[in-house]
Structures are given as structure tokens and as C-alpha cells.
Structure 1
């Protein structure tokens, strides 16, 4: 018999380290783009596990691929080859137009690997250890010490100093700010193609192309963090593809496995051949047969079921409906985003209040930054789901 909500919450609070202030709901199962809790309440999911569940829940063929791999082999380590990793790597390299992939367990670990690759690339050129990396203010790249060091948010950094050295910060979408931080020691620039946690800010074309040109001029590497905005969410498989600005290193995770914990950093040919070598980097679990079976199946589904094209169509409809909400409600100041990564700027009331009232209406949404309502639904939502979301959100906005 299933334990009741209060018992489960009490057990979690007594035994799990309190680093999250969780909502008072116990989610039990999912179906399509809906979630159900232990009290049999049903929610339209416009958070997707923080942009992870791109295919929703129990997408045809996904569960079967994982179950089949469980029956064969879960883990071997990277001391040996395995077929799912080889297949997943080939598909990811081909679909991204990059050269080599390193599978990790998370997005944060992908960032760590990308930073190490950039430092090694520079070290091989001159043998020095004084190289610097330029990151963006209001960015978010993860919680480990390296990823935290390039996360431009004092609130996250302050308790954990000293962080890794050689990091300079510039302002997102301000090319002159980036230029001002460049010097002969700069080995890389890291940024999100669309800032997520910072408030859903897409890069401008001028900015991204300008940063790429700066990197090429100085033989520095461009690292694009596609952990949240990649895997079709922006309306392109990877958001940088819309701009025609290919990075030297790309990080991805979240929807890469659609629920299975997996990330990757992907390198172009120049960087792959001129950075990490045997003994420089490793992982016990990363790229094991189980997670790579998920990645391989996800990439197949994206191609065969034309997921990106679907996002372009439904994303345009969502954007239209959100713009109408901006015009209708004084408490919504603006909309930002692309495709199915969208943010509504809430003014005059706490954004957290809107999240809670939305949950009361059977809608799951989350926040980004201090005042943005973040909508990152499964990529397989339909226009009818968008209409349902708008109806529920409007009730939440007008609720006393």
C-alpha cells in the first residue's frame, strides 16, 4: 500500500539533506504531458523536470529501449567498449556537426570537462598555467566548484570561496564588455546560448557572432552551454544552429537522456585533437550502456518523429498566446524566449505566488531568476495543451 503524502514528506525531511525547499506535493507517475500525485491530482506539466522530459512520460519506444538494455547490460566502465555508447556518440556527433563527445553523468560535469579541455588546449600552446576564462554575469552553469566559478551570481558563489582562479566576468549581450575582459591570457569564453536561470535571455545574433570572432582572433575557445536550451527546445536541435555560430565546445544534458541522468561535452576537431588526452579526464559511470541506450533512442525519436519541426510550430503558437497575456494583464511585464523555452516577467506580486496558485489549478510551472515565470514544457505538447495552460494560468493570475 502506498504511504500517504504526509508520511512521505516527513520521511524525506528527516533523512534527505535540506538543500531544496520543495513544494508540498508528492508526484507519483506521469502520462504523456501530465503528472499525477499521490492524492490523485492531475497536473499539466509545463516544467518537464526542469527541461528534462522533452518527450513527456512513456513516449512510444523509449521505455522499451531502456528495459531492453537492462536485460542485457547496465554498466561496464570505460575500460571497455560498448555498443550503445558508440551508437549514441555517432548520432550526437553527426546531428551536432561536431567531432568528438565525452559522456558525463550531469550537466555540471559536462561544464567541468569543458573547462578542463579549454585549459589543456591553452597549456599545450605555451606550457603556462595563467590562462583565464571569461564568463557572463547572471549566468548559471552548475554547483560544483568549477561550474560555480563561472556562474555569475554572487548569491551562489559567496559561501564557497575561494573558487577556481582566472575567471573574469562580462555582461551578456554586451560585446564591448566582453572585449574589455580579453587579454593575452584569455583561453576561452563560456556562455549560455539562451540564459536560463538568469531569466530566459536569448543571445543576440550580433553578440554571439561578435564573441565568436573575438575567440578566433585570439585563438581562444568558445564554449556554449546548451544544457537547458539545447535538444530542440529553442526550435533548433541546438540553439546555436539558428545563429550559424558553431562553438569549439558544447555542453548538453537535461533532455539528452529524457529522464536518465546523462550529460556530454562535445568538441570540434581542432579542440578534440589539441586538448584532453588519455589520463587527463575520466568517469566511472559516464557513457555506460544504460544511459547511452536512452541517448541513442532519444536521438532516433528526434529524427524520426520530427520533434524540432514540431517545436517550431507549437512554439510559435505558444509565443502568440503568451504575448496576448502580456497585453491583457498588468502583472505580466514582458515575454522572453524562443520556441518552448519561454519566460514571463511578473511584476507587482511574487512570482512564487503565481507558481503555487498555478499548481492549485492543475498546472506545473517554475521560476527563473527573481521575477520570471519559466515555461519549459515537454516538446511534444500540442496547441490544445497550450490552450489548456493559458486557461489554467489565467485562473491562477486572477485568483484572490
Structure 2
């Protein structure tokens, strides 16, 4: 099959819900990808942060293969080793108490929303189910997580939306206080607003928010769908902020390319969701869990330190290029936003970079860079050379 045939197949049989770039991807190794014609691309996108340990990782492939030969799926009505071992690894490396496994980031966020409301219901009864989220946030594509998303552009078409959410300006405790009331049960935030433009939260603000939540007996929910699993230079971003959230969602990079999500809870929330209150058919799938264990084994302390070093290197190199179309960068680890200047939009620049062999993303008004966490320095330099030559 060639590119034109693939595009025709897509247009005939797939719903046209994505604004795809006119590029196909056939295979890859490390952080380097190839299309059907053999053209090479350096990947600064990792499938929107999913391919955390790159492409063709031999240990990852071997673990998936071995588990597929042994057990591909079993109902959560039975015990199996892979999910239990993965839960142990996540809890031991984060200080959290227990894990729930699902399939996606939106599902993970739905889970912590349900948990917060049940925690409050169990303790206070009805009427205390409102969750405060931040303006410019993004929490998913289901009806409820779209409602939780603090961007008006997403609040259209799919009426009626779910009740029980209010929005506050990020960075201001006063803004939280202004929208708070006796009906609030939780605050939910991203520590780096990813889809909104890659904006890290101020540590003092996060600390003060954690104190406020403790005082009001609100749960502190952290959406780490994009920031989690090593993306920011620690296994989870909350570990850099000196807090222990009540619930932390994760997805994207956890299984290195297979669909998996879930959430972690602290000790006081361990038993909030009991038998029959929350479930998902494919949660804790043995193959996905085996893949995730390889991801976590790969992202040891040295690998996580390297994420920070690589991120700093990329941001420094881009700053020194002095490109007229790019402004300042921001982010944590290998979650980088580079502001776009001038008349051309970030989408125009992204399309040009992709055409020249560098896969990048956009977020807000910025270019968004999410390379595989295991990207080599040689691949980074190759990608940066394409960026400089294309946008000069």
C-alpha cells in the first residue's frame, strides 16, 4: 500500500474526526520513525506522550509477547499477577496506597471524580459534589471530563453537560475561594497544563492549595495523564511539588504504547470505592500491565535524571538559535512548550517541521515537544538541526 491508497482507505471507511497531517507512519526504532515510502522522521511527539520508551524496545516487545502467549485477558472477577505487581511498583515508587487500572486518561479522570464525590457523600451526604477545576485545563473527551475542562471552546455541541463543576483562574488561591461554597468536595488540577499550552503551576500556589484542601476537607485531585510516568523528570510531577494528593490519574506513557490508564489514591481514600461502585472490563489487562512494568523498570532514577537533562538541553539549544518565529520556552523535563511569534501560527510551523522530518505537536499558541523519554542525544541533535534549518 502506498500513501495515496492509505489516505483513500481512511477517507472511505474511517470517521473524519481528526485533522491529520498529510503523513503516514509505518514503523520506527528508538525515536526515529519511517513512512511507507521510507522517509525518516525524528519524533518529538511520542504519540502525544504515549510512546514513553520509544519504538521497538526489545524488552517491551518480549514482555508483551511472553504475556500474550500466557494470558491475554481475564475478568477482574479473578486475580492475576501482572496488574498486582504493577500496582505494587507504582505504590512503592510514589508513596501512594492503592491503584485502580482502566484504559484511558479520560476514564482515569472519571474515576477520581467519582471517588471524590463518593468520599464526600459517605461523610456528609448529598449536596456536596461540586469539583473546582482550573481555567485553561484539559481533562478528557467524555461528557463529564469535557465539563471538567476549563476551556469554553470545548463546551459546545454536546449539551446537556454534567452538573457539578466550577472554574477558577490558575495560580490564585483567592480565585478558588471566590467560587467555593458548602457544596464543594474537591479541587482538580494539572501540575503542568498540557493541552492549554504547557504551563507549569507555581510550587507555592500548589502548596497553598493543598493546605486549603486539607482545611476544608476537599480532596486534592491531580490529573497526571500527560505529566505522569517520567515525563517531567520524576515518576510523577507531584513528587516535585512536595505534596501527597488524594487521587492521581495517569495514562498515556504508562504502557509505552498500549492503551492503559488508571489512578492512585492515598491511604485515606483507599477504601472509598468498594466492590460494585466502580469497574471496567479491560482494566488491568495482563498484556498492558506487563508492558507497563517494563516501562517503569526502564525509567529508573538515572533515566529520570536524564529526562531533566535532555529537557534543559533542548530548551537551551532552542533559545540559542535566536529564531524570529519562536519565543521563550517553558515546561518540566521533556514536556516543553515553545511560544510562537510572528504572523504564522503554531499549526503552520508544525506542518512545515513535519514536512521536513520532525514530528512536533501544538498546544494553545505554542509548539509542544514531547519526545520519547529514552530519545538519544544524537536523535535530539538531529531533530534540533531540522528545527533550526526549517524555521531559520
- TM category (shorter chain) comes to over 0.9
* Aligned 8 A contact 2:323 2:388 in 1: no
Q: Which residue pairs with 1:335 in the alignment?
A: 329
Choose the corresponding residue for 1:278, options 266, 275, 279: 275
* Aligned 8 A contact 1:319 1:339 in 2: no
Q: Which residue pairs with 1:368 in the alignment?
A: 363
* Aligned 8 A contact 1:130 1:166 in 2: no
Q: 1:316, CA displacement in angstroms?
A: 2.0
**More displaced, 124-133 or 84-93?**
124-133
Q: Which residue pairs with 1:164 in the alignment?
A: 162
Q: Which residue pairs with 1:295 in the alignment?
A: 292
**More displaced, 287-296 or 383-392?**
383-392
How far, CA to CA, are the matches of 2:246 and 2:38 in structure 1?
47
How far, CA to CA, are the matches of 2:265 and 2:48 in structure 1?
25
Structure 1 runs of 4+ with >3 Å offset:
none
Choose the corresponding residue for 1:72, options 61, 70, 73: 70
Q: 1:271, CA displacement in angstroms?
A: 1.2
Q: Which residue pairs with 2:382 in the alignment?
A: 388
Q: 1:86, CA displacement in angstroms?
A: 0.8
Q: Which runs of 5+ in 2 are unaligned?
A: none
**CA shift digits 1:139-170 (9 cap, x unpaired):** 11100011111001111121112211111100
TM normalised by structure 1 equals: 0.95
Q: Which residue pairs with 1:357 in the alignment?
A: 352
* Aligned 8 A contact 1:336 1:344 in 2: yes
| Alignment RMSD (CA, Å) | 1.2
How far, CA to CA, are the matches of 2:91 and 2:12 in structure 1?
44
**CA shift digits 1:314-351 (9 cap, x unpaired):** 222122112224xx123222211111100111122111
How far, CA to CA, are the matches of 2:11 and 2:135 in structure 1?
34
* Aligned 8 A contact 1:51 1:228 in 2: yes
Choose the corresponding residue for 1:309, options 292, 305, 323: 305
* Aligned 8 A contact 1:226 1:238 in 2: yes
TM normalised by structure 2 equals: 0.97
Are 1:379 and 2:373 matched, yes or no?
yes
Choose the corresponding residue for 1:264, options 262, 265, 272: 262
Q: 1:130, CA displacement in angstroms?
A: 4.1
Q: Which runs of 5+ in 1 are unaligned?
A: none
Choose the corresponding residue for 1:99, options 87, 97, 100: 97
Secondary structure of the structure 2 residue equivalent to 1:158:
coil
* Aligned 8 A contact 1:28 1:38 in 2: yes
